[in-house]
């Protein structure tokens, strides 16, 4: 695998720990790997403690042999939002597309920051976080620190272009969203349900997330 699409959040932390261990054991090699992250908060500089860029540095990039120039990220402080989104789409295309897109899922069924109501054909775009997502993400921020309300995110259409998709979900709070994704109608009210349209998706869930 050459081009990876990566998520942040609690769910992939264990996976990233395994990846780091794999590199240390000499079983994994990131020297020829390119990465694109799903999303970034608008308004946060890359070095901000809660930026997704910083999260990725601390949880993966700083500990594996990935080349700095092979890491691409949506800017939290873009000069122009439309131009930054277009740049990201072009950069993904220029590398031949994403080979493996790894995803988590929000309690409301979002993938990336594609909240309920987002077009299933959407490309990389500016997104408004729902109150539920802001509340869920507050745990990463200090008391009195505000979670940004806006982000840039790959669109559902961008995600569906990946050749292969791996979605991870753990815990009872995800059970409803997991059921809607797998057995519900394909609907923008649960953007993860769009994965039903993709030919090569693997979903790994624990018993609690599978409860419904």
Residues identified as active-site: 39, 108, 110, 115
- Positions in 9-28 near ligand F6R (CB under 6 A): 9-11
Question: Residue 176, Cα to own-chain centre: how many angstroms?
Answer: 19
110 binds ligand F6R (CB under 6 A): yes
32 versus 210: smaller Cβ distance to ligand F6R: 210
111 binds ligand F6R (CB under 6 A): yes
Contact by Cβ (8 Å): 43, 148: yes
Tell the smallest beta-carbon distance from residue 66 to ligand F6R (Å).
17
Which of 22-30, 106-114, 175-183, 204-212 is the region at the interface with ligand F6R (rule: CB under 6 A)?
A: 106-114
Tell the smallest beta-carbon distance from residue 81 to ligand F6R (Å).
18
Which of 64-72, 105-113, 115-123, 176-184 is the region at the interface with ligand F6R (rule: CB under 6 A)?
A: 105-113
What SS3 state is found at 189? coil
Q: How far apart are CA 86 and CA 153, in angstroms?
A: 12
Q: How far apart are CA 37 and CA 53, in angstroms?
A: 8
Q: How far apart are CA 65 and CA 18, in angstroms?
A: 14
30 versus 136: smaller Cβ distance to ligand F6R: 136
Relative to beta strand 71-72, strand 125-128 is unpaired
- Positions in 148-207 near ligand F6R (CB under 6 A): none
Q: Give the residue from 44, 146, 141, 34 showing the smallest Cα distance to 91.
A: 34
106 binds ligand F6R (CB under 6 A): yes
- Residue from the set 3, 4, 5, 8 that interacts with ligand F6R by CB under 6 A: 8
8 versus 122: smaller Cβ distance to ligand F6R: 8
- What is the phi-psi region of residue 60: left when phi exceeds 0, alpha when psi lies from -120 to 50, beta otherwise? alpha
Strand partners, 3: 34
Kindly list the residues in this chain that would bind ligand F6R in the complex (CB under 6 A): 7-11, 38-39, 104-106, 110-113
């Amino acid at each position: 695998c050459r081009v990876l699409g990566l998520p942040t959040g609690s769910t992939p932390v264990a996976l990233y720990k395994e990846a780091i261990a794999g590199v240390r054991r000499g079983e994994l090699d990131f020297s020829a790997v390119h990465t694109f992250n799903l999303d970034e908060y608008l308004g946060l500089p890359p070095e901000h403690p809660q930026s997704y860029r910083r999260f990725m540095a601390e949880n993966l990039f700083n500990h594996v042999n990935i080349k700095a120039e092979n890491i691409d990220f949506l800017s939290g402080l873009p000069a122009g939002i439309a131009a930054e989104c277009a740049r990201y789409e072009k950069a993904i295309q220029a590398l031949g597309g994403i080979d493996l897109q790894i995803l988590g899922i929000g309690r409301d069924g979002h993938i990336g920051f594609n909240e309920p109501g987002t077009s299933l054909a959407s490309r990389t775009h500016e997104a408004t976080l729902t109150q539920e997502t802001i509340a869920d993400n507050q745990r990463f921020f200090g008391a009195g620190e505000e979670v940004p309300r806006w982000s840039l995110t790959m669109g559902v259409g961008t995600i569906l272009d990946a050749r292969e998709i791996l979605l991870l979900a753990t815990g009872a709070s995800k059970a409803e969203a997991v059921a809607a994704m797998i057995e519900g109608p394909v609907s923008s009210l649960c953007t993860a349900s769009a994965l039903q349209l993709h030919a090569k998706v693997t979903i790994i869930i624990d018993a609690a997330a599978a409860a419904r």
